[in-house]
Amino acid sequence: MQRTTHPLLISALTVAIGTASALALAESEAERAHANPGQYESGPTAMTGEGVNIVKSPGAPDLTEEEFHKATRIYFERCAGCHGVLRKGATGKPLTPDITQAKGSAYLEAMISYGSPAGMPSWKTSGELSEEEVKLMASFIQHEPPQPPEWGMGEMKNTWKVLVKPEDRPKKQLNDLNLKNLFSVTLRDAGQIALIDGDSKEIVTVIKTGYAVHISRMSSSGRYLFVIGRDAKVNMIDLWMKEPATVAEIKVGLEARSVETSKYKGFEDTYAIAGSYWPPQYVIMNGETLEPLRIVSTRGMTVDTQEYHPEPRVAAIVASHEKPEFIINVKETGKILLVNYEDIDSLKVTTIDAARFLHDGGWDSTHRYFLTAANKSNKVAVIDSKEGELEALVDVGAIPHPGRGANFIDKQFGPVWATSHLGDGSIAVIGTDPDKHPDSAWKMVRTLDAQGGGSLFIKTHPESHHLYVDTPLNPDAGISQSVAVFDLNNIEGKFKVLPIAEWSGLGEGPKRVVQPEFNQSGDEVWFSVWNGKEQESAIVVVDDKTLALKNVIKDARLVTPTGKFNVFNTQHDIY
């Protein structure tokens, strides 16, 4: 979707918001729960504007109680992911009253309406907000942010449900699905996931979940699928049932992004863990029932200025293969926590100072080193999970956003891991072999030029010689609707462009192409063609060997498909 902005306005807006990231669109666009039949309806929480304490600030435009509640809901749905619940800033700039009141309503309305060349979405010109809503939000952010309620053990247990007790679940797989090639597909605006058979390309079932599922993760055994919505609802799905279904669920907070299960030998499927954006904390749960066992706050001091931060949100969580530990990214403080779960009544937590603001990441090919983006510091932190220490902080491009990243063998530098970026069109390639290639280990050994900024995911597979890079947040429709493909046998050669949205055969709409995901065997790669909620979307399947169109999956139930997670690859951390 092309965006046009007056040159003078662009200049003013750039000063106002600096490097506010295009991630705002990924974090917030389409996070709307409408009361349509069969679709997710969020309950009355701080995220819907209910139950918050209204604090009207001197010097700010007056708002009625109804307007304040509406604006609170819009902010949480569209803005909090980047600017923070308390508006202290992260990927996006701070929006506290001392800053916003100084800018004034007219200036703020222009900023919200037209966006920024640095990535702030153009909320009015894109049709996401009406003129009245833009005025409302410009007034709202001049007030003190409402303080959402905390969410402790009592609140969690009130939402915890075991729908099928462990003893009543199947003792063996009761369906004939090839679970290793099953895909869990996020249907963002429907509050659902679709399970799609990777062999037949047919939808097996659609399961109601929390709103806008962020990720799907597999239990160590490969039996249970865990998904978490941005409303912090966790669903535990048993894939052995005749028709896979939720067997336990819980709401771990008001806003969240991450869930994982224990993988270390002897602790397989023993625990599950989920991290919240609000309140800033993580909870360790029983791996068979989701019973909450231990809640730990992440509030504390930042790694750089050593100042207290009231909202250090939990971003990525991965399960260590080397020790009985969870590795937890704390976004705003820039700290990485190694949480040993051998004795959850006496948790041993190693705190590693990295850099702000920590986001997502993944393992190197040996599953020893965790590489994770500190996106506003333009760095990738490398954690040695065996020794429990920071191995390196690697300078990369502008606002790295790797997803899990991509592992492959570089003919010159050996094993490497790569990330794409939101803020520029580069691909950073980092050496990951300190034993056989010590001179290139933990250094950016290559930087490749792709289509442009606005990338969210990069992907390859051990059986593939292709590297796929999406750009769904690029303002140029030709770029956001296609993907770049690099030949790993000729890494310095020109990439190819695949017109994924065109191949989908869809009608009108933004048709953003997002998140390449391989099947189990690594011979085909799936892409979501993410359209508007009221428009037709699709999944496009490409033959990895020939780069030719193989299948287009269309179904009325595929409402705003985004993330896709192959069971086998997710279970074994293959990427």
Positions annotated as catalytic residues are 79, 82-83, 120, 359, 401
Look at residue 546 and give its three-state secondary structure. Answer: coil
Q: Name residue 141's amino acid.
A: I
Q: Which residues pair with 517 in a beta bridge?
A: 526
- Whole-angstrom Cα distance, residue 210 to residue 214? 9
Task: Give the number of residues written for the chain.
Answer: 575
- Whole-angstrom Cα distance, residue 399 to residue 207? 34
Question: In this structure, are residues 249 and 293 in contact, taking their beta carbons and an 8 Å threshold?
Answer: no
* E strand or H helix that includes residue 266: none
Residues 6+ apart with CB under 8 A from 8: none
Burial of 443 (0-12, 13-18, 19+ CB in 10 A): middle
Question: In this structure, are residues 352 and 383 in contact, taking their beta carbons and an 8 Å threshold?
Answer: yes
Tokens of 242: 């005749």
Strand order in the sheet with 192-197: 203-208, 192-197, 182-187, 561-566
Question: What is the dihedral angle through the alpha carbons of 207, 39, 34, 125, rounded to the nearest 10 degrees?
Answer: 70
Q: What is the DSSP string of 180-202?
A: GGEEEEEEGGGTEEEEEETTT--
- Whole-angstrom Cα distance, residue 517 to residue 468? 9
Q: Is the N-terminal amide bond of 279 cis, ω within 30° of 0?
A: yes
Sequence-ordered alpha helix ranges (H) in 414-535: 477-480, 500-504
The CA–CA distances, whole Å, from 294 to 118, 289, 341, 344 equal 40, 14, 10, 7
* Cβ count near 131 (within 10 Å): 10
**Conformational region of residue 130, where left means phi above 0, alpha means psi within -120 to 50, and beta covers everything else:** beta
Tokens of 228: 């978490």
Look at residue 466 and give its three-state secondary structure. Answer: strand
Question: In this structure, are residues 197 and 176 in contact, taking their beta carbons and an 8 Å threshold?
Answer: no
- Whole-angstrom Cα distance, residue 236 to residue 289? 8
| DSSP secondary structure code for residue 448 in this structure | E
Query: How many alpha carbons fall within 13 Å on the CB side of residue 291?
Result: 7
Q: What is the DSSP string of 152-174?
A: -HHHHHHH-EESS-GGGS-SS--
The CA–CA distances, whole Å, from 392 to 21, 421, 436 equal 25, 19, 18
